[in-house]
Amino acid sequence: MRDALANFDAIAAGLDRRPPVLFLDYDGTLTPIVDHPEAAILAPAMRDRLERLAVRFRVAVISGRDLVDVRERVRIEKLIYAGSHGFDIQSPEIRLEQPRARGYLPALDAAERQLHEDLDKEPGVLIERKHFSIAVHYRRVPEGEQAAIRESVNALADHKHLRVTHGKKVIELQPPVAWDKGHALLWLMEALAIDPDAVTPVYLGDDITDEDAFKVLPAHGVGILVGTHEGPSVARYRLADPGAVAHWFDRLLANTY
């Protein structure tokens, strides 16, 4: 996997022919990974970069966070926001609540109640309800007890007929619907009438769930993995951390397309 900063000129050569459309994860990409989700605050300098990027390019933030949460953290009206891994999308022009997922809201409500009953007593566990999913964070759980937390959530998912996804020290319950960040990216391209042959879709993300978006990029698209995650990646490029993402944005802003 090549370094996206060291190979910026090669990437930029393609952007001269097809301008970029930017799709960005939030946690671990625009902000550092932290122990508590509430502490992931967007730095003013990063917000300034995003504002300047949005003047020139289409910019979407596709996050596992709840739509309202990620929108309030970024606070740039011109951007496109997709929350709950793409189940919930909003921009100045479009709005989507994944219709097949709505029918599973009662199952999520019941699972949330059961998770609190089962896990509230476990030190270090944080249960985070979003509109279309429930995240169980176990970063602060002792290493030897993390497998039991995952097993408990998996068993509940089977009982409630929900889907399980994994991230960095988080396990999440979602509707069992064929939808993810990759589907959201493709839906956005179509909904916004963006010709994929006329632009370069660029996706930056740090987690296993971002692989779904990397996989749907066209051959000329640019997938950039930020940091590392526990599995293999199909991204062609890598950046070390959100600080390197900021430098990459600076290079992008310094070029004219």
| Residues belonging to the active site | 25
Greatest Cα-to-Cα distance within the chain, rounded to the nearest angstrom: 56
**Range 210-215, long-range pairs (CB < 8 A, 24+ positions):** 210/25, 210/181, 211/235, 212/180, 212/181, 212/182, 212/183, 213/23, 213/62, 213/180, 213/181, 213/182, 213/184, 213/185, 214/182, 215/182
DSSP 193-214: T--TTTSEEEEEE-SGGGHHHH
Closest to 162 in 3D by CA, of 87, 83, 61: 87
| Residue pair 187/89 in contact by the 8 Å Cβ criterion | yes
The Cα angle at residue 136 between residues 161 and 242, in degrees rounded to 5? 125
